[in-house]
Structure 1
């Protein structure tokens, strides 16, 4: 068979000739088909045209990542690192070509595409006027995580190098790269903030210079959110360091500073981005960001951000299900007047965050030694609460003259929690845990109005930048609550009793509880403020800042209708000065600065004799250096601060349940931040904070004098994030990132008679992503080493967690 098959073709000359003719025919057919295909391709190419060109900034430098789009077809491309773009296969005709980049003035050109030809269209984009931080185009272009230029910190158009105050800014671009699905995860990039402290209703606080600092400010006015904050509407987070009582309401800040969340605002170019995220702990999250100009002149701009979030805890019980929507509208009335209106509306259903109180009479002094199962919640998904949040914000800007403008801001907030919130406490002598539940209905009502007049003028040869303002703030709350305690159970071997923690059993205990006078409490407090701040340029390199604020507080106290009594009511007046000096050693690149800042808190705690407390005052002295060099590729701030606090309140040892005002506190330390882009595509965000806090004077019997306050957190905190993305070639947009956070040992309780230790921690995170103009794919792994670590409330933090993010952009 094999021999015959091999020999047969050769044995016949006729067959050989037939095969030769067949091969020749096949070759001719293939050549003919190839000519037809080539002709069709050539005809197709000849039937279309192309557009190419460059995009440069106003200073003549190449602008990368600028979107170049044909309005009629919505086809587009982002410019390369050299600022070039090339749009191919465009049907002949007339088009509108748009070049846009956030912070630059959008530019449009009418173009004609001719078949078989490539038309060159170049753009030069000037700076945008809406936000000062976008003036640094090179920062956004290369060092993409550097957006230090903001008017929020000084309430003035002041560059970072001109400002004597220290602040950090976390951008939405950085949060997107890190696949942030929780608002507090963005704070990993701010030096000294530590592990977030999550309260029963989702409200969060973090550390700043050794002081617990809340998230109560939105767009520079009150944004008091008693519940969790969704990151979908966040453009950036600004961490302003040190006592800030001069330009911000002291009721919303701590002596360590404040966190200002700046929301996304409409812009001129239509754009939509829809993102779906899924991952560990049953995460399902869908977000949408839609931006539309509503008229042809683009004087009415609309944007809406929304999020649907569903996630379970890594523990055996615990969940968060929420819906969030944030519409915003900008109306540019004319070249002098504009109006911004936006809202944040959220509803959520969740279980309380884990909270554990140690036994101060017990023998265990370290959370690791308790032996509690890390993944055991001691909770139940039926013991939950509902929360609602409505924030309405308005901004009216009016240009009075070339030197003066008016800024009117208004905010109205409703924030409430209704349901069951929980906490846990230990009796470690018998290895038992008690589950405490508060059935509560707690609404907050906030009103905040500010009127600022901002001037930029010269007296002789000296430049003055001035802000003068008035502020009104009011906060009301009506608190209904009943607290019950479940029977204690073993925390090592709870057995069937573990399942006894149900909503029905809690409700029965609440119904049987004897009513108390304090089950319903009303609170009402107001403040009226006036302030002025002037930045005076002595030379083109040396400027001085002088500021003063006066506040009049009217706290009507806590009123209990049951007995008709009011406690904690007071009226006070407080003054807060601020001074600063900046000298630019290298103009536009290196500056030395120093500041004196004052802040105050009005104390509403209750003393045994019901006498009012004096305001707590904090005085900060700070000095350091700021660097913005190498074409904005290196930005760094290094500072030393010293904050002394007087009139500190603490528990009254002679009268349990009351407070006494007999203390002083000192908080000093070093902070350093680096934001760098050493070469194309490679970015670094790093920070280090050392804080030395102690109670320097305390009432006898409190047992805390000379010790570090437990709520000051770790003495040493560090953060690092490094990422690299390809900036050219076929895989442009492909990147990866890695980073982590470190915190030294800290205390949950720190007195001379009892200490409870929270161990140090180091976490490592990593991500990989592919970011293109039309879509983005990202995957993030948090806590790669599966580090076990805890918050100040002894809440176990997430183990290794993976999140996949898919985005469509059009």
Structure 2
């Protein structure tokens, strides 16, 4: 009787347990609707899971009732997460399709609509491995396509305003070599030079029409990416739109203030009956004027992409971006870094921001092209080989001018210097990655070994700079050249004929330099337990600079760059505590130095710089991905830093040590259905702690930007009732004051702090969307700069009409 009672009690407990749990069954297929055996199926946050059998089927029993997330992963295929509700019965998932991974590594594809539309995603690029954010010891920000659409973003600069800790130093100038925009990140300047994890140079600005997302990697990241595409503050990686399984597309027309008009189109579809080849085409045409008395930009952009799945093991992809652009270079007042400034703020300067000091006749043409080919071959269930080839080509052709304060006039007068740009840059990169996901004993290893070869050739045959009148910030013209004894009267007409006449006697430069970099790297993420992991990475980099045409400035350098990280999840998939050590280096390329008024500039070479970062913090992913947050503190030290010479504006010196430390917080949330918001705040302390020039010692580097930055954006879309589909958005971007001149011998010039408001309203149906966006809602007057002063756009309106098919 006693044993019978024990059996009854045990049976009751078992039945009661199963009454509080359910079963998940399903079948996994590939893109050809063939069964996929060996797929790993896991219930996130638990130790429960299964492996699909020969028919692609799986069964997971005893799953707790309530919301659950199912993760399906298989080497060579895009990882898939499915959110479902377990109700105590059997949940049938009859057909689940996994698609071949066509990015550089695996990437996430979620079939259902995401709840938290602004949250970070699993990415193959940040670690060159398919790691979720909660598993990654590096801090990064993801700017999703959903976020960009909600803001009616039409340019790359506005897109980057969503990245915590990123601030514009100056906009794209279009000039050869360094014409892309500059941004401050963790106290250091950075340009966007990485596209889909590979070098993708531009001398203009990146077209927003082809952006799937932007990934901003924080901290020195040379271990996996080298030094050619980032800075000590981090790296900006643009992930482009790619073909997907299905047929569809959209057409969008946006018009707005200051002569803005943009037409974009996106088409995706299969090219064969077997649906093994998919093609996607994104294109855009844009024209824009200026709020100033002159200024324009016209661009045509086209981006074809194709993926071909040869079989279950091999997939091939091709991506291209071609841009044809013409623009006036933006108005910037260059402050003198060698003599005392007559003004310390905008009020004393007397700047009329509505003046451009140029004309629409003086334009730069900046065509660019980027092409990439990828081959992914699944060697086994645990190993994948991926080969990536990329090329970039940029040209600069046209007139470039700038305004510089020589300090020879009595008060704030800027001399206009102008030249004819004629330069181009070509890059070629080939990369081979061997990616594994395997176990050694009970330890899971996610491993990548890569070899990378990059060659870049830059040539510059631009003319010298000619004096072309001087102006005060209020617009008064000074005809005579203060640097010559002769009296000059102008008339300095802003026409091509007038400028060509002034440039007739200017010599043309003849500078060409080639850099070759061959590297190998290895990275391993080891899980000692499901919640405790360690990352160890190292890169060996061989840099060769061939110098100019005569071989001047040539040098070789071999550098080793390590990276370590440790991560522990006190609550699996919900809370991560991490720490990292990251290293970066910079084989500083030769720089053109010398006063252009004295003749052609010359190349100057430098020793390599080194940067080291220590960082710690935590990440959260709570309430089924509805609350995603990262909080971290970092410290970076850079030695042998190359800096601008305060005593000579046309020279650079290498004798500095710089420290940068700061606190960052970013939150992405979806508290209720239809409401999504993102917020970020950073506080950065940067200082020159060692230098041969006492004028810089103890100062904040100009490239560090403002000490404090904050950003916020929220959208709400009505989910039910007669107003379904109507949405609203509001956000702010702000910064503390910043010094754009800050040396002992010059004094300090401060740009004021600002807070910019933006708002939107939209209405969308299944195929149609109309939206109205207001940028700089309160018409704030604000400026950016980096030893320069550039006025930013006042209040502007955008109206967007979109149709999906």
TM-score range, shorter chain: 0.7 to 0.9
The change in CA–CA distance for 1:540 and 1:507 in structure 2 (over 3 A counts) is same
- 8 A contact 1:458–1:464 mirrored in 2: yes
State the alpha-carbon separation in 2 of the partners of residues 56 and 577 from structure 1: 43
Q: How many correspondences in the alignment?
A: 694
Aligned with 2:145 (options 172, 177, 200)? 172
Secondary structure at 1:547 match in 2: strand
Residues 103 and 289 (structure 1), Cα distance of their counterparts in 2 relative to 1, 3 Å cut:
farther
Matches within 5 A, 1:294-333: 294-333=271-310
Q: 1:552 to 1:200 in 2, by over 3 A?
A: same
Q: Kindly indicate which of the two structures has a greater share of residues assigned to helix.
A: 1
CA shift, 1:431, in A, is: 4.1
Instruction: Measure, in 1, the Cα distance between the counterparts of 2:96 and 2:156.
Output: 33
1:234 and 1:535 mapped to 2: Cα distance? 29
Q: Is 1:282 aligned to residue 262 of structure 2?
A: no
Question: Please, which of 657, 660, 683 is the counterpart of residue 690 of structure 1?
Answer: 683
Residue equivalent to 1:751: 743
Which of 763, 772, 784 is residue 779 of structure 1 equivalent to? Answer: 772
Which residue of the partner structure matches residue 639 of structure 1?
A: 632
1:432 aligns with 2:413: yes
Q: Which residue does 1:718 correspond to in 2? A: 710
- Is 2:482 the counterpart of 1:505? no
Q: Distance in 1 between matches of 2:163 and 2:477?
A: 43
The alpha-carbon distance between structure 1 residues 502 and 332, as it changes in their structure 2 partners (threshold 3 A), is same
Match of 2:802 in 1: 807
Matched, 1:494 2:476: yes
- Supply the distance in 2 between the matched residues of 1:238 and 1:743 (Cα, whole angstroms): 22
1:455 positional shift: 0.4
| Alpha-carbon offset, residue 477 of structure 1 | 1.3
Q: Does the Cα contact within 8 Å between 1:104 and 1:128 map onto a contact in 2? A: no
Residues 281 and 312 of structure 1 are in contact (CA less than 8 Å); yes or no, is this contact kept in structure 2? yes
Deviation of residue 446 (structure 1)? 0.7
Name which of 498, 505, 518 aligns with 1:528: 518
Contact residue 628 and residue 669 of structure 2 kept, 8 A? yes
2:311 & 2:216 partners in 1: Cα distance? 33
Whether the 8 Å CA contact 1:184–1:196 is kept in 2: the answer is no
1:547 pairs with one of 537, 542, 567: 537
Q: Given the alignment of the two structures, is residue 387 of structure 1 paired with residue 366 of structure 2, yes or no? A: yes
Structure 1 residues 186, 488: closer, same or farther in 2, change over 3 A? same
Q: Give CA-to-partner distance per residue, 1:291-310, whole Å, 9 cap, x none.
A: 01111221100000000000
Tell me if the contact between 2:100 and 2:309 (Cα under 8 Å) persists in the aligned partners. Answer: no
1:227 touches 1:417 (CA, 8 Å); kept in 2? no
Contact 2:253 2:264 in 1 (8 A): yes
- 1:195 is displaced (CA, Å) by 2.8
- Contact 1:544–1:581 (8 Å) recurs in 2: yes
In structure 1, what is the Cα distance between the partners aligned to 2:617 and 2:93?
A: 43
| Paired residues of 2:81 and 2:109 also in contact (CA < 8 A) | no
Q: Please, which runs of 5 or more residues in structure 1 have no aligned partner?
A: 1-54, 62-82, 84-101, 107-120, 560-564
Q: Aligned partners of 1:658 and 1:446: how far apart in 2? A: 27
Matched, 1:336 2:336: no
Structure 1 position 323, deviation (Å): 0.4
- In 2 relative to 1, CA 322–579 (structure 1 residues): closer, same or farther, beyond 3 Å? same
Offset at residue 729 of structure 1 (A): 2.8
CA contact (8 A) 1:719 1:739 kept: yes
**Aligned pair partner of 2:548 in 553, 558, 569:** 558
Residues 574-631 of structure 1, C-alpha deviations (whole Å, 9 max, x = no match): 0000000000010110010000000000123469999953210100000000000100
Given the alignment, which residue of 384, 389, 398 partners 1:410? 389
Cα offset for 1:173? 1.3
1:368 positional shift = 3.7
Counterpart Cα distance in 1 of 2:365 and 2:474: 31
Cα drift, residue 467 of structure 1? 0.2
SS at match of 1:226: coil
Could you tell me which of 134, 137, 154 is aligned with 2:108? 134
Deviations 1:623-666 (CA, angstroms, capped at 9, x unpaired): 00000010000000000000001111234578885443221110
2:437 counterpart residue number: 456
CA deviations 1:173-209 (Å, max 9, x no partner) are 1111100111121111111111352132162121210
The structure with more radius of gyration: 1
Indicate yes or no: 2:443 matched with 1:466: no
* 1:698-748 superposed Cα distances (whole Å, 9 cap, x missing partner): 1144x1111100111000000000110012233322100000101111111
Structure 2 equivalent of residue 34 of structure 1: none
Deviations 1:214-254 (A, max 9, x none): 11110000001112211111100000010001100211110
Deviations 1:497-555 (A, max 9, x none): 89822221111011122x26xx1211111100000000011111100000000000000
C-alpha distance in structure 2 between counterparts of 1:610 and 1:186, whole Å: 35
Distance apart, 1:133 and its partner CA: 5.1
Alpha-carbon distance in 2 for matches of 1:479, 1:440: 8
TM-superposition CA deviations, 1:24-58 (whole Å, max 9, x none): xxxxxxxxxxxxxxxxxxxxxxxxxxxxxxx9999
Aligned position for 1:396: 375
Matched residue of 2:348: which SS?
helix
Moved more, 172-181 or 145-154: 145-154
In the alignment, the residues of structure 1 paired with residue 419 and residue 722 of structure 2 have an alpha-carbon distance, to the nearest angstrom, of: 58
Aligned to 1:110: none
Please, what TM-score do these two structures have when normalized by structure 1?
0.82
| Counterpart Cα distance in 2 of 1:721 and 1:268 | 31
User: For residue 213 of structure 1, what is the aligned residue in structure 2?
Assistant: 190
| Aligned match for 2:620, one of 623, 627, 632 | 627
